Copies of this chain bind each other. A is one copy, B any other.
Amino acid sequence: MEENVQIGEFDLIDWIRRQEPDRAVDSWTRVGIGDDCAILGVGEGTGAGADLLVTTDMLMDGRHFRLDTDGPEAVGYKAMAVNLSDIAAMAGIPRAAVVAVALPRSKAVDIARGLHAGMRELADRMSVDLVGGDTNAWDGPLVITITVLGQGTVRGPVRRSGARPGDVILVTGPLGGSLAAGRHLRPEPRIHEALALHRAADIHAMIDLSDGLSSDLPHILDESGGLGAILDASSIPIHPDAHEQARRDGASAFDHALNDGEDFELCLTVAPDIAAKLLAYPPEPARLYRIGEIVEAPGLLVRTPDGRLAPLAKGGFDHLRGRSA
């Protein structure tokens, strides 16, 4: 739900967030727009563990996938995966999903069956019930919207907003180049990793990396009251696909690791002593990489191997790239 495309300077969902009136007295809303999922308190007196998580994502042919080359199963899988990744980002347990589709009329049945197979594979593995939907056919391109409902654990959902100066920043896997080998179509939502980490440690803040580290980490910094971060250039885990992508387009693999989207790894912040413990004994099945630390001063900096600090632009790394090129 975090993939809010900026249209020029305008973002509908962010704008709605600012427009939102005061809630009704009996409102369910604990957290509305502005995190990976909304958090609703369903009913009253339900106690801990009854936080309802809600997230929705729409995928369109030509933008998030190419139906003719990727095929409908990959689309169904990805549509489910990106939603589950949002549940993972709050350390939630996914429970149920509803799906709405606009099917190209000419091959509607084949596409529908393929979508279902792809959704089902992941839903079965993650114990998600497909509980409803809306089927439409038209002469336009394939569009699919999935909404996933999940449950906060007894420790409560993990927000983007809890980072503190001194926190260590961790990611759950190597980054970059997801487009090179089609990995963007088969993301593995880090549900089990998030739950294991949440059981093992007090996670201060977490987000899933859908738009790229340099775009998503600032959400944690902004929501946590305007903090900053220093990333260690030599510590960023670079995916082999980022090297492949770099060979193709001439940018550096490091740039791809910082800026590419659709890795769907988790980025989290924890206190330094907790980080040391987690890195020494990562709770199965999580893998963990230390990439930097949270600091008081706003902004995103990169510490180069020779110890210099250089600013990292959101969505780009032009300054350092200029020097290191």
Contact = CB atoms under 8 A, between A and B. Distances in A.
A134 B96 contact: no
Interface string A128-149: 0111111111111101010101
Contacts of A245: none
For this chain, the copies found in one complex come to 2
Contacts of A99: 56
A52 B42 contact: yes
A234 interface: no
Report the interface size class on chain A: 35 or more
Interface stretch (A15-23, A200-208, A252-260): A15-23
A145 B127 CA distance: 24
A8 interface: yes
26 contacts: A4-B133, A7-B109, A7-B135, A12-B101, A27-B127, A28-B95, A28-B151, A29-B131, A37-B132, A40-B96, A43-B46, A52-B52, A52-B149, A54-B98, A54-B149, A55-B98, A56-B132, A60-B102, A60-B136, A60-B138, A60-B140, A62-B138, A62-B139, A98-B147, A100-B145, A147-B147
